[in-house]
Chain A
Amino acid sequence: MSKQTQHWEKTRTLLFITLAIWFIFSIGIFFFGTEMEASSFRPFGYPLSYYMTCQGSLLAFVILIFWFAGRQEKIDEEFGYTEREGD
């Protein structure tokens, strides 16, 4: 398998993991809106459903993209695809 194919395979795996986490926080948990509302877990005293819509999911996306960017950079480095900044 060529270097390029291997790189693309790893990139694709990372994509699937990223999209899976994305799906959970953007769609998955909102199938359980009423369950979240009834939950006794109340971050900062907010109902869980309310908290996820105004901070929780949003924050999860921010962290997810930073994590994704870091992981992808590691993959690129591994295969020697790192660019010099400002070429």
Chain B
Amino acid sequence: MIKGKFIDNLPKVYGIYTGGFIGFIILMAILEQAGVSAKSIGIAFVVFTIAIYAIIGWLSRTLQMDAYYVAGRQVPTVFNGMATAADWMSGASFVAMAGGIYFKGYGYMALLVGWTGGYVLVASLLAPYLRKFGCYTVPDFVGTRYGGNAARLSAVLVLTVASFTYVTAQINATGTIASVALDIPFKLAVYVGLASILLCSMLGGMRAVTWTQVAQYIVLIIAYLLPVFWISNKMGAGFFPHLMLGDEVARIAELEGQFGFVKNSAADLATVPKGLAGITKAHSAVNGTTWGFISLAICMMAGTASLPHVMMRYFTTPSVKSARRSVAWSLLFIFILYSTAPMLATLSKLSLIDPTLSTGIIGKSITDVQALDWYQNWNQAKLMFVSDFNGNGTLELNEFFMGGKAVVLATPEIAGLPYVISGLVAAGGMAAAMSTADGLVLAIANALSHDLYYKIIDPKAEAAKRLIVARVLLVLIGFAGATIAAMGIQGILGSVIWAFDFAMSGLFFPLVLGVWWKRANGPGAVAGMLLGLASGTAYLIWVRNGGSGFWGITQLTFGIVGSLVSLVAMVVVSLLTDEPDKATQAMVDEVRVPSGKTILGKQH
């Protein structure tokens, strides 16, 4: 395949791919009607899509340095937007987000606001300037702007801590989905997931990850939207759910008022399987404190702007202008999924709790509910549970428990959609988790191979050797991530939020001030990164171990502490030490000019 030709033909190539995927869905639907088992269809979906990604990964193999690190800097604006959206939307966004909204309502929506608002910071404060810089990795920018190995090394440290926290969650998610879809034990499924992730990234680095991520975006967005539109139409809730669920939201509020939120006793709750939750919070009403909402949104926004796997996607565009536009496209593609999640949560909740609907289970007799096919399936999968706490024989709102993942995974089945949709959803979840894991593993491996190995340990290494080191590190990091994921320490969402806080603590101000404050210097940046990361981590450990915390900052928002310390440390140390030399100041001026040559050469 000729590279130039491939770039010119992108709309056609991905058009055919999308058509082919839809054809595959129809084929599976026909096979289902013909009597092929649900299990085989699930396996076909997951195996087929992973095979496609692996083929793309193979076709994109490269021995070129700038193709491996930044996809040759020729990814068109809109396609980079799609790739970024896939890179960004993790297994958590896909599988757990609608569930979070379902259970926590307004308080959880701070994450949606934060995870989209952060892109305004990316577009206006950072992405175009880092693109102008011409770096391969985020520590590459830090190391060159602030000068010296200490700054570079600190950036590598923050990047590794944040991204590694995140990647274990993603490998965990691929494992969860693979184990359900392929019906294999979780511990094995984690390594199957890892193998798929490495297939996409190992041979072609950023170039391969870019083109698989575009393919993964197409799969995940179809898999997310199709069931929601289908369910909405089937329930008669509205042809276009996003604009038409006003009555349904009001109906849920009415039902909540009617049922009330009865508090269960601790003894009753102890009988509920771990990880399942009941509906205890209002669906649409404001149900949290103002500061709780705003502090979480702030952390997610600053974290978004500091996560290296997102930032490095904007290094792959052909120009500064296209980097800026690409951020807008990324957010548009993300918006399409994020605005759908609350609608799915609404439809899912209403279909379960409204006694006037045929799918509603609240108010029915417990034995009837326990006899339902889908209840038995998901109860067996440990994602659903009912219990007659008050012994009256009917199911009350406070007697129904569900896992967060079930909102996305089980709703199609509850609404009576054919199994082919469940298979599609599994493939979508896999695509979401894999694409993010790819981006993260690559971000870590590239930082270690380029910034630690090449720039610090062996600056004389030849291109071929550097690319081998990069690949070996990729495999090692993948395995380390999978090993930790297999132990299953934190839930999927918990570790994702921590990753944002870690990134924010250590990198937000050093990156932003690197562009916007000429006076910022090396010692200041090192102090900012290290003290920010250390204080954020210390606060997290303190709160985790029963510390009371202050200012209402929880273990989910510890980035506020970290980044404030980072800001103060950076400003104070910068002002106490010498200002950056003339060459560095000239470099900052140059970064601010959007045209002309990049600061770092094409090969560096």
Contact = CB atoms under 8 A, between A and B. Distances in A.
Interface of A: 4, 7-8, 11, 14-15, 18-19, 22, 25-27, 30-31, 33-34, 36-37, 42, 44-47, 49-50, 53-55, 57-59, 61-62, 64-66, 68-69, 72-73, 76, 80-83, 85-87
- Among A31, A42, A83, find the residue whose CB has the most chain B CB atoms closer than 10 A: A83
Given A54-B342, A61-B116, A83-B320, 9 more contacts: A4-B592, A33-B290, A34-B286, A53-B342, A61-B119, A68-B120, A68-B328, A81-B596, A83-B594
Given A8-B592, A22-B120, A26-B113, A61 B331 contact: yes
7 contacts: A53-B342, A58-B116, A66-B325, A68-B324, A72-B594, A76-B321, A85-B319
B106 interface: yes
Contact of A54 (B112, B119, B125): B112
B286 A81 contact: no
B124 A15 contact: yes
B319 A86 contact: yes
Interface in B85-114: 101, 106, 109-110, 112-114
B594 A76 contact: yes
Contacts of A61: 116-117, 119-120, 331, 335
A26 to B, nearest CB: 4
B117 A42 contact: no
B242 interface: yes
B106 A33 contact: yes
A34 to B, nearest CB: 5
B318 A86 contact: yes
B72 to A, nearest CB: 11
Nearest to B342: A54
Contacts of B327: 65, 69
Contacts of A25: 117
B116 A33 contact: no
B593 interface: yes
Q: How large is the interface on B (under 10, 10 to 19, 20 to 34, 35 or more residues)?
A: 35 or more
Interface in B273-309: 284-286, 290, 293-294, 297-298, 301
B47 interface: no
Nearest to A28: B294
Given A58-B338, A65-B328, A76 B113 contact: no
Contacts of A81: 593-596
Contacts of B249: 45-47, 50
Contacts of B244: 44
Interface of B: 74, 101, 106, 109-110, 112-114, 116-117, 119-121, 123-125, 128, 242-247, 249-250, 284-286, 290, 293-294, 297-298, 301, 318-322, 324-325, 327-328, 331-332, 335, 338-339, 341-343, 589, 592-596
Given A19-B124, A25-B117, A65-B328, A58 B335 contact: yes
- Among B117, B243, B318, find the residue whose CB has the most chain A CB atoms closer than 10 A: B117
The 4 closest A-B pairs by CB, nearest first: A45-B246, A53-B109, A26-B117, A54-B342
Contacts of B109: 53-54
The secondary structure that dominates the B interface is helix
Contact of A87 (B120, B319, B342): B319
Contacts, number: 153
A85 B322 contact: yes
B546 to A, nearest CB: 30
Nearest to A36: B286
B74 A86 contact: yes
A71 to B, nearest CB: 10
Contacts of B332: 62
Contacts of A4: 589, 592-593
Given A62-B335, A65-B119, A50 B328 contact: no
Contacts of B285: 37, 47
A83 B324 CA distance: 13
B293 A33 contact: yes
A8 to B, nearest CB: 5
Nearest to B117: A26
A57 B106 contact: no
Contacts of B335: 58-59, 61-62
Contacts of B290: 30-31, 33
B297 A68 contact: no
A66 B119 CA distance: 11
A49 B109 CA distance: 10
Contact of A27 (B74, B101, B123, B294): B294
Contacts of A45: 246-247, 249-250
Nearest to B318: A86
Contacts of A73: 321, 324
Given A25-B117, A68-B124, A31 B294 contact: yes
Given A44-B246, A47-B284, A87-B319, A57 B328 contact: no
